Amino acid sequence: MNRKGVDFTLAQIEPGSWKWRFQIGEAVTTGNTQARLMGLAAHRVQQLIDRELEKPCDLLPGRPDSPG
């Protein structure tokens, strides 16, 4: 799946439990979320991606558009 140019994966590990992963630059972020529906789990990951993209570039190591 893709959100604003960031690819992410979402896999159900048991009913109601999802494992997700995305990468921005060299920084890989992973986690789990609880949701009965895949759409809700995907929405939660998309919100996390949006928050990461809103952070100033100098706070995100490995991001291609960060200085240095």
Q: What is the pLDDT of residue 60?
A: 55
Q: What is the pLDDT of residue 46?
A: 96
pLDDT along the chain (68 residues), means of 10: 93 97 94 97 96 77 55
Give the strand pairing for 17-24 and 2-3. Answer: unpaired
Which residues, in sequence order, are CB contacts of 56 under 8 Å at separation 6+? none
Q: What is the pLDDT of residue 56?
A: 81
Asked whether the beta carbons of 41 and 31 are under 8 A apart, the reply is no
Q: What is the pLDDT of residue 68?
A: 46
Dist. CA 64–CA 61, nearest whole Å: 9
